[in-house]
């Protein structure tokens, strides 16, 4: 019969705990990328929900960040689908301009804004997707209804 010292037993216990902890974290991380919501033929992952909720917290958006994240991501999938169906998806340059415009509202460059988001735990792709869906929707609305809108100098002065 082999006798183990208390130190060896502690070592084995820590090793076992580390293996269990690591495998649990791995499973949890894998679950983040599983589909959480299906919108038409597109999915929203747990990671996207988590990231959007975090971004909304950083933006200090009103309401419950998790509830609002779900709502926004579903709406955005529908908007992007509509834009895609009408051939009005934004180019990379249009998305970059949208990101620059959004960051400018906070008196920051895009790079500064992305660093601030990263510092708050939000991935650049989360912000890029957020802006891309907005740009796609504006493009669709402009394509559908732009020819019906007439703006005169009085309207501009009033605005």
pLDDT tens by residue, 12-22 = 444 444 444 44
Predicted local distance difference test score (pLDDT) of residue 148: 72
pLDDT tens column, 98-136: 999 999 999 999 999 999 999 999 999 999 999 999 999
- pLDDT for the residue numbered 3: 54
The pLDDT of residue 35 is 86
Give residue 20's pLDDT. 41
54 vs 29, residue with greater confidence: 54
pLDDT score at 23: 41
Residue where the block lists tokens 């510092």: 119
Q: How far apart are CA 70 and CA 72, in angstroms?
A: 6
């Amino acid at each position: 019969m082999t006798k183990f010292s208390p130190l060896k037993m502690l070592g084995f216990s820590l090793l076992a705990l580390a293996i269990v902890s690591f495998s649990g974290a791995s499973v949890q991380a894998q679950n983040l990328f599983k589909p959480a919501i299906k919108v038409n033929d597109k999915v929203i992952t747990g990671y996207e929900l988590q990231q959007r909720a975090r971004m909304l917290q950083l933006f200090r958006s009103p309401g419950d960040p998790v509830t609002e994240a779900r709502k926004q991501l579903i709406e955005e999938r529908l908007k992007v689908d509509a834009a895609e169906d009408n051939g009005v998806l934004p180019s990379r340059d249009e998305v970059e301009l949208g990101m620059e415009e959004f960051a400018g509202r906070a008196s920051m460059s895009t790079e500064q804004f992305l660093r601030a988001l990263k510092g708050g735990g939000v991935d650049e792709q989360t912000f890029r997707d957020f802006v891309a869906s907005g740009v796609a929707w504006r493009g669709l609305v402009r394509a559908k209804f732009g020819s019906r809108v007439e703006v005169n100098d009085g309207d501009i002065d009033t605005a």
